[in-house]
Structure 1
Amino acid sequence: MSVYWAEYAWLPDGAAAGVRLDVVDGRITTVAAGTEAPDGATRLPGLTVPGLANAHSHAFHRALRGRTQADRGTFWTWRSQMYARADTLTPDSYHALARAVYAEMALAGITCVGEFHYLHHAPGGRPYADPNAMSEALVAAAADAGIRITLLDTCYLSGAIGKPLEGPQLRFGDHTAEGWAERVAAFAPAGHARAGAALHSVRGVPADQIAPVVRWAEENGAPLHVHLSEQPAENEACLAAYGVTPTRLLADHGVLGPRTSVVHATHLTGDDVTLIGGSSTWTCACPTTERDLADGIGAFRTLAGAGSPISLGSDSHAVIDLFEEARAVELDERLRTGVRGHWPAPELLRTAFAHDSLGWPDAGSLTVGARADLVTIATDTPRTAGFTASTAAEIVVFAASSSDVRSVVVDGRQVVAGGTHQTIDVGRALAEALGGHP
């Protein structure tokens, strides 16, 4: 048994002082507030919160950080640079990059990542000897970094509605959804990993190919994610081809529901919001990427009010900081509406703990029986000084950054201590993985 003593801890009812957390076999067995630190306990000075869930990641996009900002353009011009980077990766180089990126996530308090994975094959679309070699590289990278992963294996069959994959996109495709399902069925992830499904988008999967992906997710009880209405052009193309919005198309093909997450959901109609909320479909907000790519501001408050739970993702990794993602959900809404105070800070904080959306319902809370994911945030930095239990959520959401994370425990194992990853020199690993790609 391991014993931790948190100066403060974020419990289901809010911040509590002097919290003892006993851990056995990676699970929390005791939560006791108002205690003195027992002899031999690992002390966690600051505020300890549940592990953070990064519900939407494209690990290789991290290679674009700082290398696209001088270019004037749109999402579509940025995409061509992303494709060029994708075309350079091998299973070995992708493992090295993802290992470093996931270790960066660990430093930021992320204990589980949802990897929206579509870079499946060798250049030209030729399968590797192991058709899931790239999936194996990502799962191994997460293990090396000490975090869990839900590999959201992505069906990606068309370059746009009515157009075939071409160029670097050929690496993404399995020809048909049945071909995708056959490849995914041969992949058996390790214990720290779970397999999920994804439809890239209504641009990337023709309507008549959606059903096999939905069926696979249902039969395997797996989460199902999909990019939705990230750009107005997607909506226009869908209306022209099918006569309905992307959301309505997904609803008509059985995609929406409580195991499904729609990512971005930026340009929606009122009917779209009703369909998403009424089906209890998750919405994954990625505001730092959405602003970086000039996508627009999603109506996340409206979606939550309609019944859609909100999760967070760092997506393209313009930054990796879920506190920044959470506060951007509120601050972007202020810019959109001209009014402050749309989200209570505790509600925003909970969006960072949305492990349910990744198929890990036993994580994301400091309660008996939950996975022992403990993330401790320093409360004496220039950003967090002045912390009190009554202001805990406000300080964390509206002032703290990933740099304030001091300790991270994942399934009872210490991954970060004193703000340092215990097995990976993260800066060096990133520099080595990114080197040689101007």
Structure 2
Amino acid sequence: MSVAVAAEFWCERAWLPGGVAERVSVGCDEAGVITSVAPGVDPGQDMSRLSGVVFPGFANGHSHAFHRGLRGRTHAGGGTFWTWRDAMYRLAGRLDPDTYHRLAGLVYAEMALAGFVVVGEFHYLHHPPGGGRYADPNAMGEALLAAAAHAGIRITLLDTCYLAGGLDGSGYQPLSGPQVRFGDGDVAGWAARWSALAERPGARVGAAVHSVRAVPAEALPGFAAATRDRPVHVHLSEQPAENEACQAFHGCSPTELLAGAGLLGPRTTAVHATHLSDKDVELLGAASVTACFCPTTEADLADGIGPARELADAGCPISLGSDQHAVIDPLAEARALEHGERLRTGQRGRFSPAELVAAATERGHRSLGWPDGGRIAIGAPCDLVAVRTDTARTAGASADQLVLAGSAADVDSVVVGGRMVVSGGVHRSFGSVGAELARVIEGLWSA
């Protein structure tokens, strides 16, 4: 990422920790950290003006960048999560470090256009087809780190342990087909490769258990010991079949299995958390595990609607992600979280607009290891997202309810660390993202 220079921004309205304020100046130092926030200020000549409502930068808590190549290509004949997964595996087999860098850079640029300033990349596409090794065993991860830097957003690389090809009542199955690209043999092999990844400005390194289907129970304590000071994410109970297999083989739920391995705690994020028992909810809440919902993906894959309100009430912070990128839009994810609750319960207002903004901003940042992010406040990164209030979608909406009216198409300007990354709805480094995305994705499918 480019080093930010000292700057001052004038916001027509800004979402501050105490609510929406009018005519707010935000100053930052050369490191891109906010040094001043002052409401009720007239715009100065040297200030960069941001119109509409300015939100803190949004956090994408869960991403598989290469899944973007599946958008609009998996709907013929209906299908299930598992037939969708077959298409995903075919796409995974076609990527190498160079093509992944090109695709991911464009996906992260699309995220920047939507207002995301940080992404949690749940990365398991580690090795060449056939399960060999690149000269740099982390070549694919390094491609993602470089892609995020090029797009101008921060990244937490959630390098993923993936050791088994599935779980059923008879036990764990070996990796097969495209899955052999994902594996490191055992936890020690994964940890040796993972520990060679270096953090750098704009990039942090976390870890992930793909799921209880993909990491045998006996490997979980070793993983927990190796990662005890890092953010840890895990796909949890996305499908009923996962729960049934875990119950059949281990005699407990996936949540209970993770709890027994010492993997539940404030540094842990449970992704999806869809099919949970009351006991699961209690365990996750008591451990202050973040629950990362990806509502547009969960709808696209017919996963179901998880108990978000119950988890929040039990003590789980709620964050949001775009997962397979059927949609890249933080406002759509926030709105879908509330809409899912309304459909599930028949009640409106399950999450207030302020709670939805918190899920999309500060709670996502915290789950990714950026605890100062997601706020417009002194000491926080100077990450600002200006959402227009004069479009056909947002006209007439109250500023404090804009999260339930706007969309990524209404994002005008995005500042990351004091540096303007998007201006007038155009990415300053990539220009026309859509045309290049189409070329890269078509090339992958025709390879």
TM-score (norm 1): 0.97
Q: Is 1:79 matched with 2:89?
A: no
- Structure 1, unmatched stretches of 5+, are none
Q: Which amino acid aligns with 2:438?
A: A
Q: Which amino acid aligns with 1:83?
A: Y
- Once residues 213 and 132 of structure 1 are traced to their aligned partners in structure 2, the CA distance between those partners, rounded to angstroms, is 18
Q: Which piece of structure 1 moves more, 51-60 or 189-198?
A: 189-198
Residue 244 of structure 1 is aligned with which of 249, 252, 258? 252
- Once residues 71 and 128 of structure 1 are traced to their aligned partners in structure 2, the CA distance between those partners, rounded to angstroms, is 38
CA-CA distance at 1:39 after TM superposition? 2.0
Aligned equivalent of 2:3: none
Q: Which amino acid aligns with 1:28?
A: I
Aligned equivalent of 2:225: 215
Cα distance per residue 1:198-217 (max 9 Å; x no partner): 00000000001112221222
Quote the sequence identity (%). 59
CA-CA distance at 1:189 after TM superposition? 3.3
- Once residues 77 and 155 of structure 2 are traced to their aligned partners in structure 1, the CA distance between those partners, rounded to angstroms, is 33
Q: How many residues align?
A: 432
Q: Is 1:277 matched with 2:282?
A: no
Q: Is 1:301 matched with 2:306?
A: no
Q: Which amino acid aligns with 1:111?
A: V
Aligned equivalent of 1:259: 267
Aligned equivalent of 1:411: 417
TM-score (norm 2): 0.95
Residue 317 of structure 1 is aligned with which of 298, 303, 325? 325
| 4+ long deviations beyond 4 Å | none
Cα distance per residue 1:333-385 (max 9 Å; x no partner): 11111222211111111100020000001111000011000111011111111
Matched position secondary structure for 1:31: strand
Q: Is 1:189 matched with 2:176?
A: no
CA-CA distance at 1:398 after TM superposition? 1.4
Aligned equivalent of 1:164: 174
RMSD: 0.9
- Once residues 354 and 39 of structure 2 are traced to their aligned partners in structure 1, the CA distance between those partners, rounded to angstroms, is 19
Residue 114 of structure 1 is aligned with which of 120, 127, 133? 120
Q: Is 1:326 matched with 2:334?
A: yes
Q: Is 1:4 matched with 2:12?
A: no
- Structure 2, unmatched stretches of 5+, are 1-5
Q: Which amino acid aligns with 1:325?
A: E
Tell whether the 8 Å contact from 1:100 to 1:433 is kept in structure 2 after alignment. no
- Once residues 429 and 153 of structure 1 are traced to their aligned partners in structure 2, the CA distance between those partners, rounded to angstroms, is 27
Q: Which amino acid aligns with 1:60?
A: F
Q: Which amino acid aligns with 1:205?
A: V
Cα distance per residue 1:379-423 (max 9 Å; x no partner): 111111114xxx32312x211000100000101111000110001
Q: Which amino acid aligns with 2:421?
A: V
Aligned equivalent of 2:440: 433
Q: Is 1:17 matched with 2:17?
A: no
Matched position secondary structure for 1:158: coil
Residue 372 of structure 2 is aligned with which of 362, 372, 383? 362
Q: Which piece of structure 1 moves more, 180-189 or 199-208?
A: 180-189
Tell whether the 8 Å contact from 1:119 to 1:134 is kept in structure 2 after alignment. yes
Q: Is 1:292 matched with 2:300?
A: yes
CA-CA distance at 1:87 after TM superposition? 0.5
Aligned equivalent of 1:224: 232
Matched position secondary structure for 2:35: strand
- Once residues 400 and 68 of structure 2 are traced to their aligned partners in structure 1, the CA distance between those partners, rounded to angstroms, is 29
Q: Which amino acid aligns with 2:158?
A: L
Cα distance per residue 1:71-113 (max 9 Å; x no partner): 3211011100000100000000000000000000000000000
Aligned equivalent of 2:400: 393
Aligned equivalent of 1:199: 209
Tell whether the 8 Å contact from 1:349 to 1:393 is kept in structure 2 after alignment. no
Matched position secondary structure for 2:271: strand
Aligned equivalent of 1:136: 142
Aligned equivalent of 2:132: 126
CA-CA distance at 1:432 after TM superposition? 2.4
Tell whether the 8 Å contact from 1:181 to 1:212 is kept in structure 2 after alignment. no
Tell whether the 8 Å contact from 1:285 to 1:312 is kept in structure 2 after alignment. yes
- Once residues 65 and 37 of structure 2 are traced to their aligned partners in structure 1, the CA distance between those partners, rounded to angstroms, is 35
CA-CA distance at 1:259 after TM superposition? 0.5
